[in-house]
């Protein structure tokens, strides 16, 4: 295979998407969409996450040191695209969304009831960069839909059922690889 050199890009390297949930200072929940998320090992499984620039989510995490990360599925895509394209410093961002928000079972974090998998994360280390921040997190709890723990379906069937969304090349893709639209598009299906 002959290859050509490129400037830094993650095109053609699909990523999983998560909604990070945090509480604002007034106790209201804020959610944003994130993909720079992966795992670490230090005697147990952990999470590493990068946030670029200044964001409401980052301000909240600096203050609280905890957040939730909920897996984005096809059902959640219009909402997720909206939450990834709307600034949390706009006081109207979270208004009129009709979300079922629960509290974490271990940490004081807002959790989206409609996501089948949510991590409750505690930041153990902030690595401050020039225009971004990497957070190394302990996984304090994993909330999974009961259906995923059941033994009457294979992992292949369960993944097809929850349909996690992937992203690369500025687009969303279904678990099976179908095009679900450019980053800005699915939010048009959200009634707000
Ligand atoms: C597909 C997609 C993935 C994103 N991933 C990240 C990410 O990993 N890190 C980041 O800093 N911003 C990311 N963003 C941008 C945030 O979602 C956006 O800044 C959002 O406003 C954050 O929510 P907040 O303003 O309520 O904090 C992404 C946006 C999209 C559309």
Burial class (CB in 10 A: 0-12, 13-18, 19+), 168: middle
Task: Tell whether the model's pLDDT for residue 192 goes beyond 90.
Answer: no
Cα 114 to middle of ligand 1, angstroms: 19
How does strand 29-34 pair with strand 18-23?
A: antiparallel
Provide the whole-model pTM: 0.98
36 lines ligand 1 (CB under 6 A): yes
How much is the pLDDT for 95?
96
71 forms bridges with which residues in the sheet?
18
H/E element, 78: helix 77-84
Q: Cβ–Cβ contacts within 10 Å for residue 3, how many?
A: 5
169: Cβ contacts below 8 Å, ≥ 6 apart: 11, 12
For ligand 1, what atom is nearest to the CA of residue 35? 8
71 lines ligand 1 (CB under 6 A): no
How much is the pLDDT for 1?
84
Q: Cβ–Cβ contacts within 10 Å for residue 57, how many?
A: 22
CA distances from 45 to 40, 48, 139, 142, 162 (A): 6, 10, 7, 11, 23
51 lines ligand 1 (CB under 6 A): yes
20 forms bridges with which residues in the sheet?
32, 69
Pair of tokens at residue 43: 């005697």
Q: How far apart are CA 40 and CA 137, in angstroms?
A: 9
Average pLDDT over residues 25-31: 97
Assess contact for 69 and 48: CB atoms under 8 A.
no
For ligand 1, what atom is nearest to the CA of residue 32? 23
How much is the pLDDT for 101?
98
- Mutational pocket test of ligand 1: of 35, 59, 172, 181, the residue with most ligand atoms within 8 Å of the beta carbon: 35
pLDDT (tens digit per residue) in 35-92: 999 999 999 999 999 999 999 999 999 999 999 999 999 999 999 999 999 999 999 9
Task: Name the nearest CA neighbour of 60 among 123, 18, 17.
Answer: 123
The percentage of residues in the chain with a pLDDT greater than 70, rounded to a whole number, is 100
pLDDT (tens digit per residue) in 109-147: 999 999 999 999 999 999 999 999 999 999 999 999 999
78 lines ligand 1 (CB under 6 A): no
């Amino acid at each position: 295979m002959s290859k050509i050199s490129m400037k830094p890009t993650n095109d053609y390297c699909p990523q999983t998407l998560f909604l990070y949930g945090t509480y604002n200072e007034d106790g209201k929940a804020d959610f944003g969409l994130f993909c720079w998320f992966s795992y670490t090992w230090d005697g147990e499984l952990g999470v590493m996450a990068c946030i670029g620039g200044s964001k409401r989510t980052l301000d909240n995490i600096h203050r609280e040191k905890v957040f939730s990360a909920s897996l984005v599925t096809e059902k959640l895509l219009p909402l997720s695209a909206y939450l990834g394209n709307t600034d949390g410093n706009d006081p109207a961002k979270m208004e009129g969304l009709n979300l079922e928000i629960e509290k974490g079972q271990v940490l004081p974090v807002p959790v989206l009831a409609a996501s089948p998998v949510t991590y409750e994360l505690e930041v153990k280390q902030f690595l401050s960069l020039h225009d971004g921040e990497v957070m190394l997190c302990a996984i304090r709890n994993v909330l999974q839909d009961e259906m995923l723990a059941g033994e009457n379906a294979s992992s292949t069937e369960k993944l097809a059922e929850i349909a996690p969304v992937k992203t690369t090349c500025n687009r969303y893709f279904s678990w099976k690889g179908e095009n679900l639209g450019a980053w800005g598009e699915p939010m048009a299906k959200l009634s707000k």
